[in-house]
Structure 1
Amino acid sequence: MAALAYGLLGLGLLGLIASTPFVLAAVAPANTDWGRLSDISQAYGAVSVVLSAIALAGVALSLLCQVRQTRTSNEQAIRDSHLQLATLALSNPDLLQAWSPPVAPITLKRHRQHLITSLALGELLQRFRIGHLSVEKLAVKLDGHFRGEIAREQWVREGPGWRRTMKAGDRRDRVFVRLVGERYQAAIASGPALAVEEFQDPPGIALRAVPQRSWL
């Protein structure tokens, strides 16, 4: 909305400047001293240059914001399409074998887990690209991401591919993949990962039923 307001303001100023001579000619009396008005207009010309520059800057800012919004919308559409493909592949093992094959032999269950982890990284990348995550916040997210053993395994297996892809991108892509590598190394240095078994309930322990409360 701010970009649209700047754009309209800029166009309004340009229209005002362009229409000024015609307005003066229409409202000026018949005996107007146009020579004197010409001298005044020369002084006005310096002001009009400044106003024109401001107007053009507003239009340029509006166009820049529109370009950024269009890029964000396109990236989101691509991300949604990728998520639909991943959902379809995860729901059918035969399709998973046909799409995104593993770089080395791995069980189907682990491959699914790595795919989810990769999608989680992709979500962080998207948020970082559009400015929803600063470098500091992204580092915090990655520290939590690499606490688990599956995330660390996935980066060991697929990290080289991510680095090749991101280095071919823009500056934010390169910053992202560099920070992922740094936080992975920091996680390794901090100690062992959280094993998958630690997410599971011990055998023989069942969930207790939550007692129903009466609100009468």
Structure 2
Amino acid sequence: MTTGGGRAQRTLRVRVALAYGLLVLGLLALIISTPFVLSAIAPASTDWGRLSDISQAYGAVSVLLSAVALAGVALSLLYQVRQARTSSEQAIRDSHLQLATLALSDPDLLQAWSPPVAPVTLKRHQQHLITSLALGELLQRFRIGHLSVEKLAVKLDGHFRGEIAREQWEREGSDWRVTMRAGDRRDRVFVRLVDERYQAAIAAGPPLAAGAWELDGSTRTRD
């Protein structure tokens, strides 16, 4: 499934590549055309020997400009590689979300696709799956830089206020740790921060019970 965000990223990549390409072409055109321009505008009495000495100094400058241009191209390529990875991760995430939606719509499919790690009611298993998807969304945003460590910590503090989120991490956290520690640095930072905020939530007191919510300043429990 192609998203609007993916199209925007591809458009941005094309624009960045074109900008760097035009910069390189402009610098090369400047370097190549300079001798001809000087020859056309120089007076007949020009001391070309002296100009040759000057051109040697100019050659050093042209080398510097070429190096800057090549560095720009390298940065552009690195940026495109990173964006391609982000787009690939988003496509995988979209596919996973479609599977989860299909499984949640049919209990039999849910048991086939994502059996619980321990006996649990169907409703609670569905709730745990939704909570896991919410963590996955935070992970994706953290991977692509939309969430800083500080913002992620705030999001996790809110996440672990609820009883279901704490249950889900208690039951499935070990699997997340194994998976994330086998990933890159940001994955390891993510799972470490999740563990830290989970422990902080436990130390802060009991969670908001499932089925309870705030209404008109008082806590009500669903029948």
Tell me how many residue pairs correspond in the alignment: 202
**Residue 196 of structure 1: SS of its match in structure 2?**
coil
Partner amino acid, structure 2, of 1:155: W
Deviation of the 1:67 alpha carbon: 1.3
User: Does structure 2 conserve the Cα–Cα contact (< 8 Å) formed by 1:146 and 1:187?
Assistant: yes
User: Amino acid of the residue matched to residue 134 of structure 1?
Assistant: S
User: Residue 120 of structure 1 corresponds to which residue in structure 2?
Assistant: 134
Report deviation, 1:100: 1.6
- Structure 1 letter corresponding to 2:79: C
Find the partner of 2:117 among 90, 103, 113. 103
Q: Does 1:188 align with 2:207?
A: no
Cα offset, 1:70, TM superposition? 1.1
**Cα 1:24–1:202, aligned 2, differ >3 Å: closer, same or farther?**
closer
- Residues 88 and 95 in structure 1, CA contact (< 8 A), matched pair in contact too: yes
Rg larger for = 1
- Identify unmatched segments of 5+ residues in structure 1: 204-216
2:62 aligned with 1:53, yes or no?
no
Runs of 4+ with >6 A deviation: none
Distance in 1 of aligned mates of 2:106 and 2:27: 60
Aligned: 1:12 with 2:26: yes
Q: Percent same amino acid among aligned pairs?
A: 81
Amino acid at match of 1:108: L
Tell me how far 1:13 sits from its aligned partner.
1.1
CA deviation after TM superposition for structure 1 residue 18, in Å: 4.1
TM-score, normalised by the number of residues in structure 1: 0.84
In 2, Cα distance between equivalents of 1:171 and 1:147:
27
1:136 maps to what in 2?
150
Q: Are the aligned partners of 1:7 and 1:62 in contact in 2 as well (CA < 8 Å)?
A: no
Unaligned runs of at least 5 residues, structure 2:
1-11, 214-219
Q: TM-score by structure 2 length?
A: 0.82
**Residue aligning to 1:208:** none
Measured after TM superposition, the shift of residue 106 of structure 1 is 1.2
Encode CA deviations 1:99-124: one digit per residue, 9 max, x unaligned.
12111111111110000000000000
Check the 8 A contact 1:3/1:61 in 2, yes or no.
no
